[in-house]
Amino acid sequence: MNNFTYARASSLKDAVQKATSDRNAMFIAGGTNLVDRLKVFLDQPSQLIDISRLEMKQIEKMANGGLRLGALVTNTDVADHADVRRNYPILSRAILAGASQQIRNMATVGGNLLQRTRCPYYYDTAFPCNKRQPGQGCPAISGINRMHAILGASEECVAVNPSDMSVALAALDAVVDVVGTQGKRQIPFTEFHRLPGNTPERDTNLEPGELITSLIIPPLPFAKSGVYLKLRDRTSYAFALISVAAAVDLAGDKIQTVRFAIGGVAHKPWRSKDAEEFLIGKTAETTTFQQAAEIALKEAKPLSHNSYKIELAKRAIRRALTISAKGGGVA
Ligand SMILES: Cc1cc2nc3c(=O)[nH]c(=O)nc-3n(C[C@H](O)[C@H](O)[C@H](O)COP(=O)(O)OP(=O)(O)OC[C@H]3O[C@@H](n4cnc5c(N)ncnc54)[C@H](O)[C@@H]3O)c2cc1C
């Protein structure tokens, strides 16, 4: 770990000012991802700006029935919140499927969105990595890549986003509130994370110095039947090989509306609008869900060790949609 100075932000304005006046400064919230990264020299900030005491710790019910989650609400408090459990079980279950109780007690909403990939080549500074240092190359493309992307990857980077919570938020059409030197703005969740393209060092569309202040989850009555299915090497304390967050709204046996997002397949949670549109008006049955899964994965390009992910993702989509169509529950 390199030396850095520590400063505690006294307000949102102070946090943004500190971050923009020192381009090598970084925010720290729960520290459960950043401190690990500091220890292995992935990040070498000149300054840590501690935002953990700022007033962003509330979960508020909004006038339209949606929820606003402060950026510093812990993952545990989101997952345990009565409204989240009742109305957005996808979100609660996605969070509980990740990390451990102790980590979730420290981890925050904002930090979860900005955790970085678990690609082993990114984590091991003995290897080159375009995400760490643009222009170095990507050894994962010809290396051990069973955990890596099958959708939206580039010749520069095949890493996947590791956040379970983000998969649920993508399916729920959440919105990210941020503040920077230019003031406040909102970023639709599906546009928050980026595909790698030729700038794999950028995970998100946040501008330098911008701070996440809260997340808005719109009202979505049928999200009550939502399902989060996570498939992984171990049933605990492991990142997703494939995950699916899905919610189906039925009128009789016909699909009125549907949302689903896939994790473990790309540099961002993956939504297939084509597959969702295909499902509208169809009968909720296995063959329909299978066809939607085929559409969602039609552009998949496997690497040498991860072609298994294509079939796994299709089956996970089918299963998550089937369970949600039957009223939801644990997948
Ligand atoms: C052993 C282990 C297992 C894990 N397993 C899983 C898992 O299975 N699934 C899963 O989803 N996650 C998993 N995690 C990751 C965990 O969820 C994240 O570490 C955590 O959510 C990060 O939150 P934090 O508040 O600690 O972030 P920090 O570590 O404080 O920060 C992370 C990043 O976010 C930035 N940041 C933080 N808050 C803000 C803000 N408000 N605005 C702008 N920038 C901000 C920081 O600068 C930093 O770059 C695991 C972590 C560990 C250590």
Nearest CA among 116, 114, 115, 120 for reference residue 146: 120
The rounded Å distance from CA 112 to ligand 1 centre is 4
Task: Write out the two tokens for 285.
Answer: 């049955």
What is the per-residue pLDDT for 178?
98
Distance CA 118, CA 135 (A): 20
Domain boundaries, the chain: 1-54, 227-325
Query: pTM of the prediction?
Result: 0.98
Q: How far apart are the first and last CA of the chain?
A: 41
Out of 24, 26, 32, 49, give the residue to mutate to test ligand 1, the one with the largest number of ligand atoms within 8 Å of its CB: 32
The rounded Å distance from CA 69 to ligand 1 centre is 16
What is the per-residue pLDDT for 216?
98
Give the list of residues 6+ apart from residue 21 with CB closer than 8 angstroms, or none. Answer: none
- State which H helix or E strand residue 70 sits in: strand 67-70
CATH of 227-325 given 3.30.390.50, 3.40.640.10, 3.40.50.300, 3.40.630.20: 3.30.390.50
CATH of 1-54 given 2.102.10.10, 3.30.43.10, 1.10.150.120, 3.40.50.1580: 3.30.43.10
Place of tokens 């919610």: 247
Out of 76, 112, 205, give the residue to mutate to test ligand 1, the one with the largest number of ligand atoms within 8 Å of its CB: 112
What is the per-residue pLDDT for 1?
80
What is the per-residue pLDDT for 276?
98
Out of 38, 114, 122, give the residue to mutate to test ligand 1, the one with the largest number of ligand atoms within 8 Å of its CB: 114
Q: Which atom of ligand 1 is nearest to the CA of 213?
A: 41
The rounded Å distance from CA 116 to ligand 1 centre is 8
Take atom 52 of ligand 1 and give the residue whose Cα is closest. 99
The rounded Å distance from CA 331 to ligand 1 centre is 25
Take atom 13 of ligand 1 and give the residue whose Cα is closest. 99
Nearest CA among 174, 167, 177 for reference residue 212: 177
Q: How many CB atoms lie within 10 A of CB 279?
A: 22
Alpha carbon separation from 113 to 19, 63, 137, 214 (Å, rounded): 18, 25, 26, 11
Q: Are 305 and 146 in contact (CB under 8 A)?
A: yes
Q: What is the pLDDT along the chain (331 residues), one digit of tens a residue?
A: 889 999 999 999 999 999 999 999 999 999 999 999 999 999 999 999 999 999 999 999 999 999 999 999 999 999 999 999 999 999 999 999 999 999 999 999 999 999 999 999 999 999 999 999 999 999 999 999 999 999 999 999 999 999 999 999 999 999 999 999 999 999 999 999 999 999 999 999 999 999 999 999 999 999 999 999 999 999 888 999 999 999 999 999 999 999 999 999 999 999 999 999 999 999 999 999 999 999 999 999 999 999 999 999 999 999 999 999 999 988 8
The rounded Å distance from CA 46 to ligand 1 centre is 20
List all residues whose CB is within 6 A of at least one atom of ligand 1: 26-34, 36, 51, 71, 75, 98-99, 103, 106-108, 110-112, 114-115, 162-165, 211-212, 239
What is the per-residue pLDDT for 254?
98
Take atom 35 of ligand 1 and give the residue whose Cα is closest. 111
